[in-house]
Structure 1
């Protein structure tokens, strides 16, 4: 599974980079995250419980950050296992681009899933990935982003929601969810 995309986050590049590396923020934002722990400056372990179609399973995994270029981005690689439910492994390149007072997070993900989840079909996996990534970015934007003083017009809100629901996320966080929950990304 190969995916790429971008997400605008209403926060400085430094704040976004820090948020993507803060286990307390990640714990709040990753759907189904039960635990996440930094084992070193470049490694994390986590446990996530998710329902993907008819399968509900807990996934445990590890993520390694490399090619660190604060606050511009990094490369993420990792793998996760959900026992009989399946596994995921892969990597993502994450770059952060300043955009005024906001940041554009760009990602390119290559992931492989296997086991029972891989047998469910790409439509179910893709729709679950989109929903989980959308949920992650919405929460991440709330936690890290600046609150907006001016509400967008209803047509912009509708366009934004539709766009968000199509997002497949990555970052230490979204990829962590990918790696820990096969099919997330």
Structure 2
């Protein structure tokens, strides 16, 4: 199964590149990821829980990065084993280029599954794989574009000085209505 897509991320290419190489950001972005550790140089180890049709499995696997061209392209290759559910393996070629709004991230994904997962049929697998890829790149885009927290609000400006007495017009006071006697609910209930 192959997927090809791209999206524009409103961030400089250097920031997008750093995020692609960060275990913490990748953990946030991979749907169902419970653990992610490692480095771009040595690869990442991950634990992902996914439900594909009626099959729910915990996949433990590794992702390696190769063919890295700084801030331009990288190949992510991975394989995960889900016990009786089977396995999933694949690779994603990711390229970055400048776009008027930030960075254009394009990707080509080639994925394969085996075991019980393969028995579900191509349409189910393709649908889930596309949904996961879309969700990953949407999460990635949101993580990279996340707005910095606004600075604390500045102190409110001091109120304008009160107008001089000569500028104030005085109108005759109206008599206030006499205050009503307030009664508590107990007095109102018993007429007291």
Q: TM-score higher than 0.5 here?
A: yes
- Report the equivalent of 1:9: 9
**Preserved contact between residue 37 and residue 44 of structure 1 (Cα < 8 Å):** yes
Distance 2:34 2:51 in 1: 14
For the pair shown, which has the larger CA radius of gyration, 1 or 2? 2
Q: TM-score if structure 2 supplies the norm length?
A: 0.71
CA deviation profile, 1:134-185 (whole Å, cap 9, x unmatched): 22222222210155xxxxxxxxxxxxxxxxxxxxxxxxxxxxxxxxxxxxxx
Once the 2 structures are TM-superposed, how far is the Cα of residue 101 of structure 1 from its aligned partner?
4.0
**Preserved contact between residue 35 and residue 47 of structure 2 (Cα < 8 Å):** yes
Q: What is the root-mean-square deviation in Å for CA atoms of aligned residues? A: 1.6
Once the 2 structures are TM-superposed, how far is the Cα of residue 89 of structure 1 from its aligned partner?
2.0
- Report the equivalent of 2:59: 59
More helix by share: 1
Q: Which has the higher contact order (CA 8 A, sep 6+)?
A: 1
SS at match of 2:88: strand
Q: TM-score if structure 1 supplies the norm length?
A: 0.73
Distance 1:40 1:69 in 2: 13
Distance 2:49 2:90 in 1: 19
- Report the equivalent of 1:168: none
Summarize the alignment of residues 9-48 of structure 1 with structure 2, pairs less than 5 Å apart. 9-38=9-38, 41-48=41-48
Unaligned runs of 5+ residues in structure 2 are 148-192
Unaligned runs of 5+ residues in structure 1 are 148-185
- Report the equivalent of 2:71: 71
Superposition misfits of 4+ residues, deviation over 6 angstroms: none
SS at match of 2:60: strand
Distance 1:138 1:78 in 2: 20
- Report the equivalent of 2:133: 133
